[in-house]
Amino acid sequence: MSTPAVPSPVRPAFLGGSKQLFIGGRWVAAAAGEEFDTVDPASGQVIARLARGAAADVDRAVVAARAAFEGPWSRWTPLERQRLLLRIDELMLKHAEELASIETTDMGAPITRTRNTVKWISQAIRFFASCTGAATTTTASNSLPGNVMTLNHKAPLGVVGGIIPWNGPMGGQWWTIGPALATGCTCVIKPAEDASLSILRFADILAEAGVPDGVVNIVTGYGSEAGAALAAHPGVDKISFTGSTETGRRIVQASAGNLKRLQLELGGKSPDIVFADADLDAAVPGAAMGVFANSGQICYSGTRLFVQRSVQEEFVERLQRFSAGLKVGKGLDPGVDLGPLISSRQLDRVMHYVKLGGEQGARLAAGGRRLGGELAGGYFVEPTVFAGVDQGMTIAREEIFGPVISVIPFDTVDEVLKMANDTEYGLGGGVWTRNLATAHQVSQGIRAGVVWVNCYGAVDPAVGFGGCKMSGYGWKGGLEHVESFLYRKAVYMNIAG
């Protein structure tokens, strides 16, 4: 039986016009009546106008979320919440192609990637649907005198704020919405100003599935306005944030007002280590796409590529050929491997680092140019490889957030582990080897929240990932993530007589 062809993406009708805020189950304008443009990064053209939410709008959303939390939503049973999540999944899959096309148009990722994002979201929703019983009540033995029974409750925290990044907003929102719906919390979502449209489209799907008014609220706007107001709001019990370490510090400071719980996924400069005994047929494309995927706009990208010296020359040659074979173009075009960067600002940042790499003595082995011609209006850059990089160079120290690989030679396990951990970040890492002992030694030796062996970038929502050092704290995925939306309560009950 032949496999049916995937339909070519079309421009969704949802694009264009002005988009409002979603508060209390209704679409409303920003209190100040202001809007701002959102741009297709593949063309540089405006594709919609977004409401410019600010502190007053965040307050409206938090009030709506609190009312929903304390209202009928608090009486929904775990089974009812599970059925709700499964209805959302069913509806989302019916709109899969539309959602993928919106995400591609809004933030640039190739349509093949955003279609896979929809499949990953379905997996995540089903995982969170399996966790609706996490708010448990258990008994425990105790050593108190008399006839005292103890109960341990896990109860929903309340209102959770989710500040979502632009590099994958459609999937990123589910690290907040999923556990909130599973546990009985409510949430206020602040999408990134550069990519909000897929999250706004999802609001209608949530409403159609039967999510009660006020359980999920969406406030678009700038991080310095709406995001800062959400982080500081005294009515918010927890903030989940993905973004830069600098902004993460500000959120920590803002959270002190009411001692919010925090989950922070911040910057990264992750090491990916290739040993001479690795299967290079797998390691070359695997390590390359560990950086080039999403045009390098992933926090845990393995941009510091350590290659054992005896195979470094061959590896770089293979990396050159692989990079040259990648198709860069508009995400809706068939066969595209890399789309544009998110904005002209991000393009300027990446090109600045490319220039620095050459000035500081790294050898440009592939790419390094902004693309022109029919792509000149967008924010496209070639997949770029620097060879002969020294650990002290700027491109090896700072997060670039673009498709730029720094190849760094090493000789021994001890040497490479020392270099791998010589960074303020600790988000991800990788190792390529056929030797089981080396795989264990290196995966245990890398100080990071997640390490991949003979692969890179896979994330299971039932397992999850997190960071350490300046890459943040708090776990995403798994039961630990769900339980971070709960607080613990002990009850001591005198049952004598």
167 occurs within a structural domain: yes
Count of domains for the chain: 2
What are the strands of the beta sheet with 428-432, ordered from one edge? 363-366, 384-387, 404-410, 304-308, 271-274, 428-432, 450-453
Helix (DSSP H) and strand (DSSP E) numbers for the chain:
16, 21
For the segment 357-363, the average pLDDT, to the nearest whole number, is 97
Please check whether residues 476 and 456 belong to one and the same domain: no
27 occurs within a structural domain: yes
Confidence check: pLDDT of 335 > 50: yes
Catalytic residue among 35, 265, 399, 483: 265
Residue 2: pLDDT band with limits 50, 70, 90 = very low
Give the list of residues 6+ apart from residue 161 with CB closer than 8 angstroms, or none: 176, 187, 188, 189, 190, 230, 231, 233, 236, 238, 239, 240
Please check whether residues 383 and 404 belong to one and the same domain: yes
1 occurs within a structural domain: no
Q: Amino acid identity, residue 83?
A: R
Instruction: Identify the pLDDT of residue 10.
Output: 67
Residue 1: pLDDT band with limits 50, 70, 90 = very low
Residue 8: pLDDT band with limits 50, 70, 90 = low
User: Bigger pLDDT: 69 or 140?
Assistant: 69
64 occurs within a structural domain: yes
Please check whether residues 282 and 389 belong to one and the same domain: yes
Q: What angle do CA 287, 289, 290 make, to 5 degrees?
A: 60
Nearest to 147 by CA among 493, 454, 406, 490: 493
Nearest to 394 by CA among 430, 349, 429, 427: 349
DSSP codes joined into one string, 229-279: HHHH-TT--EEEEES-HHHHHHHHHHHTTTT-EEEEE-----EEEE-TTS-
Residues 112-122 pLDDT 10s: 999 999 999 99
Specify whether the CB–CB gap between 194 and 172 falls below 8 A.
no
Residues 194-221 pLDDT 10s: 999 999 999 999 999 999 999 999 999 9
For the segment 269-290, the average pLDDT, to the nearest whole number, is 98
pTM of the model: 0.95
For the segment 305-317, the average pLDDT, to the nearest whole number, is 98
Residue 13: pLDDT band with limits 50, 70, 90 = confident
Active-site residue flag, 299: yes
497 occurs within a structural domain: no
Please check whether residues 257 and 121 belong to one and the same domain: yes
**Which DSSP category does 192 fall into?**
B
41 occurs within a structural domain: yes
Residues 380-438 pLDDT 10s: 999 999 999 999 999 999 999 999 999 999 999 999 999 999 999 999 999 999 999 99
Instruction: Identify the pLDDT of residue 431.
Output: 98
Instruction: Identify the pLDDT of residue 471.
Output: 97
- CA–CA dist 223, 225 (Å, integer): 5
Residue 339: pLDDT band with limits 50, 70, 90 = very high
2 occurs within a structural domain: no
10 occurs within a structural domain: no
Confidence check: pLDDT of 144 > 90: no
Please check whether residues 218 and 261 belong to one and the same domain: yes
Instruction: Identify the pLDDT of residue 245.
Output: 95
Q: Which residues constitute the domain of residue 63?
A: 18-266+471-490
Catalytic residue among 98, 131, 299, 399: 299
Please check whether residues 225 and 291 belong to one and the same domain: no
Instruction: Identify the pLDDT of residue 141.
Output: 79
